[in-house]
Structure 1
Amino acid sequence: MSDTLTFLKNFIRSPTQVGAIAPSGRQLVDRMTDWIQWESARNVVEYGPGTGVFTEAIAGRLHPEARFFAIERSPELAATTRQRCPGVTVVEDSASNVQALCRQHDMQNVDAILCGLPWASFPDSLQQEIMDATLAVLRPGGQFVTFAYWQGVILPAGQRFRRRLDQNFSSVQHSPTAWANLPPAFVYRCVR
């Protein structure tokens, strides 16, 4: 089954967990990964790899001494990511459990988190739970990147998420729009 069909099937089954109808395109992948300081990042985590398009790019940029794992709730999407990126550890769990998962992977703190979660689809309680877990593992000065679809920015949950970023990070910027993505999106680039 193609990545697009796998993604669409998971979106239809769980729209609040998948949040998109198609995998991210190359332009958005580049916007997500270009900003990370790969030369110094030794502990890297990905939330919600989906079909592994970001995972593949991350794996290709990691420093040889870096440790990396991805967290995916959907067993089908986790299997797809493992097939695309056989050398990457993909854990079937929730990003809200990142502290315990980091301990299991011998990560004291995390230098970079790349996130493909659909924040604008999440209720306030889940946004807060995942953000608290993220802040518990991301070191001061650590990098957090996530993307947003332009139509989600106007939703109350999208606006709430932006406020949450501003409250919890010393710097929050956004990339130019990836117009070639379906749907168009931009990347929040945050420093703890």
Structure 2
Amino acid sequence: MGELFISQYAKKPRTVGAILPSSRYLATKMVGEINFETANVIVEYGPGTGVFTKELLKRRKQGTVLLLIEINEDFYQYLLEEYSEEKNVHIIHGSAEHIKQYLEGYGIKCVDYIVSGLPFSSLPKNLSISILKEAASILRKEGMFITFQYTKMKKMFIEQFFSSMKIQREFLNLPPAYIFHCQK
């Protein structure tokens, strides 16, 4: 898994965003604000090798739908091998900017949580705007968009799309990361 991540970073650093997968400590904090008892639909943008996916699967209730959106072909294939047998898990090879189209395909109108591993600091601005605008539009009223970044450089940018944001820090990750919990 580590080799796959490193090789993909070497090939596509702007879309992979890091040389190593996230730590389990970061994964725990990323999903720590999710109410798994009430969550019916959780979307994960850019699951990569599934570090956050494992935590989501471990904690979700049986009927919760998990949509994994991965643009990288090699990561997508890896996710298919690892999780295609999981009940209520849908793995989509595509871009997060097309989330409404994917949700329509499964008859889903709104989402409870979005967990994002996307590197907004290295994505083109127009793509980031599109992804964040769509994310805010599909969240239910009390829904939450959860993302992490290695700096606070994109804090104000991400904040434009949500009415509130809570920030946590995880030092036990290489590099240390900021977790943004955003709500409408």
TM-score by length of 2: 0.93
Residues 1-192 of structure 1 mapped to structure 2, 5 A cutoff: 3-86=1-84, 87=86, 88-150=89-151, 153=152, 159=153, 161-175=154-168, 177-192=169-184
Query: Is the partner of 2:121 in helix, strand or coil?
Result: helix
What stretches of structure 1 of length at least 5 have no aligned partner? 154-158
Q: Take 1:143 and 1:77, find their aligned partners in 2: how far apart are those partners?
A: 25
- Counterpart code for 1:171: S
Q: Take 1:164 and 1:141, find their aligned partners in 2: how far apart are those partners?
A: 21
CA displacement 1:126-179 (0-9 Å, x = unmatched): 1111112112211222111000113xx3xxxxx3x322332221210111x221
Deviates more, 1:75-84 or 1:44-53: 75-84
Does the 8 Å CA contact 1:46/1:113 hold for their aligned counterparts?
yes
Query: Is the partner of 1:187 in helix, strand or coil?
Result: strand
Q: Take 2:30 and 2:59, find their aligned partners in 1: how far apart are those partners?
A: 12
Q: Following TM superposition, by how much is the alpha carbon of 1:189 offset from its aligned partner in structure 2, in angstroms?
A: 0.7
- Counterpart code for 1:133: E
Q: Take 2:129 and 2:160, find their aligned partners in 1: how far apart are those partners?
A: 12
Deviates more, 1:55-64 or 1:111-120: 55-64
Moved over 4 A (4+): none
Q: Take 2:175 and 2:81, find their aligned partners in 1: how far apart are those partners?
A: 25
Query: Is the partner of 2:160 in helix, strand or coil?
Result: helix
Q: Following TM superposition, by how much is the alpha carbon of 1:41 offset from its aligned partner in structure 2, in angstroms?
A: 0.9
As a proportion of its length, which structure holds more helix?
Answer: 1
Deviates more, 1:58-67 or 1:23-32: 58-67
What stretches of structure 2 of length at least 5 have no aligned partner? none
- Counterpart code for 1:30: T
- How many residues end up aligned between the 2 structures? 181
Query: Is the partner of 1:120 in helix, strand or coil?
Result: coil
Q: Take 1:165 and 1:19, find their aligned partners in 2: how far apart are those partners?
A: 17
TM-score by length of 1: 0.89
Q: Take 1:166 and 1:95, find their aligned partners in 2: how far apart are those partners?
A: 18
Query: Is the partner of 1:11 in helix, strand or coil?
Result: helix
Does the 8 Å CA contact 2:111/2:143 hold for their aligned counterparts?
yes
